[in-house]
Amino acid sequence: MNTLITINEIYYLIGVIVMLLVGMTLRDKGNPKRLTTALFWFLFGAVFLFSDLLVSSLGKPLAYRIIGVVVILISLIAGFGLLSLGTYAQRSAEQRQASANQYGNWIFVPAILIPVVTVLCTILLKGVAIGGVYLLDQKQLTLAALCVGCICAILAGWKLTGGTPLHAVRESRRLLDAIGWAAVLPQMLAMLGGVFVAAQTGKSVQQVVGLFVNPENRFMLIVIYCVGMALFTMIMGNAFAAFPVMTAGIALPFIIVGQHADPAPLVTIGMLAGYCGTLMTPMAANYNIVPAALLELKDKYQVIKVQIPTGLTLLAANILLMYFIVFR
């Protein structure tokens, strides 16, 4: 059955928008690193635009190698500090304050629309078809619904502020430049998580733990699993990426099979332990670095510093909670 909005079309839309930003960056002579900054975003946008073409024309093995080279180039540009802020047509502080007073709390409506529309579309449009055509891609329903939510938010913002599509794109460039390389970090870490799973890293973790820990010591196994989830999440930037590795390496063989723990509360609390690591790492860019950039904080790690005591306290609580619950 055909689909009205497919995930590939959404990727193409993202690629087109990124290429518009590339053009604006190239024209921005106030950016001291405009060429390398434009190259960074061009390579990123090209992955969305041309991946299907590469696969269909060159085959998966060669196409994947080319995309791998692109990823390496993106990392090198960011690693050598070749990204820079440009110049933007911004209003004065007095004008922004006057605008805030004019719109009040209504200015938050577009932002609130994104999660609301996403959830509603995900729930209400599952399996919905008109004339034999699905409205949204059923295999990637949540992502397609998120795109619809973002479009609704943009339309609401235009209606509320009287802005234009070009103004929205310009603001997107300003925000992306402010966030920098951290904007693409979630996508990179998701790919890295897939690499770890394919490499069967969980088995290696299992072998290492078996060498140094008594498999009969329940409490120590719990501590290693929870702390390992937090640490691996800090490395990966995402508890979902850490979960299959640490659960396959520690929870499943030692705690569930070896100690007969209840799997449901074990893995649930294990994910919470991973989220404790999310609070304490710059690798979780969408949670910790992006807000600092959007709020224009002088210290981009300020959010993390404030969250560290909470993360450590919750991690200790999760260890105790897991120990007293999963073996009952």
pLDDT digits (tens, 9 = 90+) for 199-223: 777 777 878 888 788 888 999 999 9
Does residue 269 form part of some domain?
yes
Angstrom distance (rounded) from CA 131 to CA 116: 27
pLDDT tens figures, 285-306: 777 877 777 777 788 888 899 9
Please tell me whether residues 84 and 129 are part of one structural domain.
no
Residue 220 and residue 320 in contact, taking contact as beta carbons nearer than 8 Å? no
pLDDT tens, position by position, 81-111: 899 988 887 777 787 788 878 888 888 899 8
**Is residue 191 a part of any domain in this protein?**
no
**Position 319 in a domain:** yes
pLDDT of 1 over the 70 cut: no
pLDDT band at residue 7 using 50, 70 and 90 as cut-offs: confident
Binned at pLDDT 50, 70 and 90, residue 193 comes out as: low
Q: What percent of the chain has pLDDT over 70?
A: 98
Give yes or no: residues 99 and 54 share one domain. no
In a domain, 317, yes or no: yes
- Residue 280 has φ and ψ, to the nearest 5°, of -120, 20
Note whether 30 and 101 are same-domain residues.
Answer: no
Whole-model pTM? Answer: 0.74
The parent domain of residue 7 ranges over 1-89+166-185
Evaluate whether residue 192 is within a structural domain.
no
Q: Is the residue at 134 inside a domain?
A: yes
Mean pLDDT of 26-55: 92
Asked if the structure places residue 304 within a domain, the reply is yes
Same domain, 22 and 170: yes
Give 197: exposed, middle or buried? Use CB within 10 Å, 0-12, 13-18, 19+: middle
Q: Give the Cα separation of 52 and 64 in Å (integer).
A: 11
Residues 235 and 252 in one domain: yes
171 in the same domain as 48: yes
Domains in the chain, number: 3
Query: pLDDT tens across 142-153, in order?
Result: 989 999 999 999
Picking from 30-39, 79-88, 102-111, 180-189, which range would have the lowest pLDDT averaged per residue? 180-189
In a domain? residue 190: no
State the pLDDT at residue 231.
93
Per DSSP, helices labelled H in the chain are 7-27, 34-58, 60-79, 93-103, 109-124, 141-161, 165-179, 185-198, 201-212, 218-236, 239-246, 263-278, 285-294, 302-325
Residues 253 and 278 in one domain: yes
- CA–CA gap between residue 162 and residue 146 (Å, rounded): 23
Does residue 154 surpass a pLDDT of 80? yes
Q: Indicate whether 162 pLDDT > 90.
A: no
